[in-house]
């Protein structure tokens, strides 16, 4: 297996790893309020998240930014917690709300990129092909993220449109569960 394929696979496995379910919960919480027909909104939001985590992933790998891993591990569940609360309070018809959510995804992407970077830096060591490996890892993360987005949209479709579950009830139920899990994670990871 060449280096590009290896790092792509590692990025994919990192975001889709059930042991690191915090990233899965975040992407799920981010996409949960949307239906398939709202794919453009989801695309904009996921792109904002991608931009955020790509920037800090690169800056951290090239050692331009250094943040304590204890703080990063605490802030990741805080981003999930805030996104879940935002889901609980959201009005789907409010267009201003969508713009706010795009900005939130961008800022929270910055935090998640730092989390991804700790894992990637531990694998890279003194590699001389760092740019190629960084790109491959990031593309693998994106493939995993798109898989999660597809699963969330498919679940929402099945429950809301096929099984006729009230859309607001679906959002409240799943976001409430995500809120609970992320609250426990945040409390367990308080860095002081």
Q: What is the mean pLDDT for each group of 10 consecutive residues in the chain (192 residues)?
A: 86 84 93 91 90 90 89 96 93 69 93 84 72 88 92 96 94 96 96 87
| Crossing angle (nearest 10°) for helices 95-124 and 130-156 | 140
Q: Are 63 and 186 spatial neighbours (Cβ–Cβ below 8 Å)? A: no
Look at residue 17 in the predicted model and tell me its pLDDT.
82
Q: Are 46 and 145 spatial neighbours (Cβ–Cβ below 8 Å)? A: yes
Structure tokens at 129: 């092909």
Look at residue 115 in the predicted model and tell me its pLDDT.
87
Please give the DSSP secondary-structure letter assigned to residue 90: -
Look at residue 122 in the predicted model and tell me its pLDDT.
75
Look at residue 96 in the predicted model and tell me its pLDDT.
65
Q: Are 128 and 7 spatial neighbours (Cβ–Cβ below 8 Å)? A: no
Look at residue 71 in the predicted model and tell me its pLDDT.
95
Look at residue 48 in the predicted model and tell me its pLDDT.
92
- Write down the residue that tokens 């449109």 correspond to: 161
**Residues whose CB falls within 8 Å of the CB of residue 72, separated by 6 or more in sequence, listed in order:** 111, 114, 115, 118
Q: How far apart are CA 99 and CA 72, in angstroms?
A: 25
Look at residue 93 in the predicted model and tell me its pLDDT.
60
pTM recorded for the entire structure: 0.90
Look at residue 116 in the predicted model and tell me its pLDDT.
80
Closest CA to 56 of 125, 103, 115, 131: 115
H helix count then E strand count, the chain? 7, 0
Closest CA to 11 of 120, 154, 159: 120
């Amino acid at each position: 297996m060449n280096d590009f394929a290896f790092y792509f696979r590692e990025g994919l496995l990192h975001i889709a790893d059930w042991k690191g379910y915090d990233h899965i919960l975040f992407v799920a919480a981010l996409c949960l309020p949307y239906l398939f027909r709202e794919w453009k909104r989801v695309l904009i939001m996921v792109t904002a998240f991608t931009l955020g985590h790509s920037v800090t992933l690169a800056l951290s790998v090239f050692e331009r930014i250094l943040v304590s891993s204890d703080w990063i591990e605490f802030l990741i569940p805080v981003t999930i917690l805030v996104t879940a609360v935002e889901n609980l309070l959201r009005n789907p018809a409010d267009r201003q709300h969508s713009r706010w959510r795009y900005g939130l995804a961008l800022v929270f992407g910055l935090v998640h990129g730092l989390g991804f970077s700790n894992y990637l830096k531990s694998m890279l060591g003194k590699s001389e092909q760092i740019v190629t490996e960084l790109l491959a890892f990031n593309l693998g993360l994106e493939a995993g993220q798109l898989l999660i987005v597809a699963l969330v949209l498919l679940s929402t479709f099945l429950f809301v449109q096929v099984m006729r579950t009230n859309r607001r009830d679906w959002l409240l139920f799943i976001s409430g569960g995500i809120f609970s899990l992320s609250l426990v994670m945040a409390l367990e990871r308080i860095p002081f």
